Amino acid sequence: MNTQHGASPPTILVLNSGSSSLKFGLFAHSGDDESLLLEGSAQGIGRGDGSLRIAAPDARVLVHEQHVLESQTDALQKLSAVLAAQHYAQPTAVGHRVVHGGPHLRTHQRLTPEVRRRLQDAVHFAPLHIPPALALIDEAQSIFGDAGHFACFDTAFHATLPPRAAQLALPRRYADAGVIRYGFHGLSYESLVAQLGAALPPRAVFAHLGNGSSVCALRDGKSIDTSMGMTPTGGVPMGTRCGDLDPGVLLYLMRVEKLDADALETLLNRHSGLAGYADGESDMQVLEQRAAAGDANASLALDAFATAVRKTIGGYAALLGGIDLLVFTGGIGEHSAEIRKRICEGLGFLDLCEGDASGKVRAVHTEEEKQIARHCRALLRG
């Protein structure tokens, strides 16, 4: 609804910031949940193949531009202009997805100067994600100055991790300094819990598989273990991130190749994972096509990825004492039947079978933006 058709309802603008992308949604409260008014995404930010797409819920495209995005703030400015052109009222609140808040920010909360300072202090926990998120927060507060601004953390869902899962096998002083397992994709997992509601069984495993991928074990809807660690680099191999490594590999790279911290950061986060296996290619659809055409490196990437996810699920089955429901989400988890098949092929001992009559395996669309809107509405109400 917009002002062309009467008074606008109080709206919440959600900004879902990634390392090179920005997704967004405009929501109004309807009934007992949030209703989508507008959605879109900016992809390829900072690259020549950038694009901006904004659409109404009926799929009517309002904006579709190519090669326009120098930064997330550039994308946000264009979004603001579209909202004004379409006569949408200024949002009452703006919700920001923040990947990592460090050890001191583990709950969704209003963005205050103190919260922003703590976010700045936590940059080293997620150097790919937090700097663009901070720049976006500053720009959003400038554009939407009358709105309340809220930070929703991907790590918040995993605050329920028991010490055996959260604490790393390092001296206690490192845990005291915040060197622990935080876990990520929490807003995605929260949205799945909300969607499943009473249908969520006691023992569940969620797999958010995309350019960034993680797996989470849930007991009674609470996270008790997850594959990512202190940063989003850990866990299963991802599009360009290595996932878990023998720490000795890092020592080798430092001693033999003389890589410093910045060089290691670039190698582990931008040139590893599926891209490392497949000569720089990280797009799952392309890899599946190449593998089908006989490309051995692409086949290796698919096999290594599916095997890592399957091993993690199997480990969580042992932790939970069985699995009542396995849910796939994320761009790969939701859309790649091939990857789901490869993962599930080795899980027959759990009576998990893709598409089986028991309904123990499901692919569910994540609703991160709606989940953020829900949190913002609750925080507005106090």
How far apart (Å, rounded) are the C-alpha atoms in residues 112 and 110? 6
Of 283, 246, 295, nearest to 268 by C-alpha is: 246
Q: How many CB atoms lie within 10 A of CB 239?
A: 22
DSSP 68-120: --SSHHHHHHHHHHHHHHTTPPPPSEEEEEES--GGG--S-EE--HHHHHHHH
Nearest CA among 169, 161, 165, 231 for reference residue 189: 161
* Active-site residue (options: 154, 176, 283, 324): 154
- Amino acid at residue number 180: I
Q: Residue 86 CA to chain centroid, in angstroms?
A: 29
Nearest to 215 by CA among 88, 306, 144, 309: 309
**27: its two tokens:** 């929501």
Active site residue 154: yes
Do the strands 203-208 and 325-329 form a parallel or antiparallel pair, or are they unpaired? parallel
Neighbours of 244 (CB within 10 A): 15
Q: Select from 264, 263, 209, 215 the least CA-distant residue to 239.
A: 209
Complete DSSP assignment for 176-213: HTT-B-----HHHHHHHHHHHGGG--SEEEEEE-SSS-
How many residues comprise the chain? 382
* Residues belonging to the active site: 154
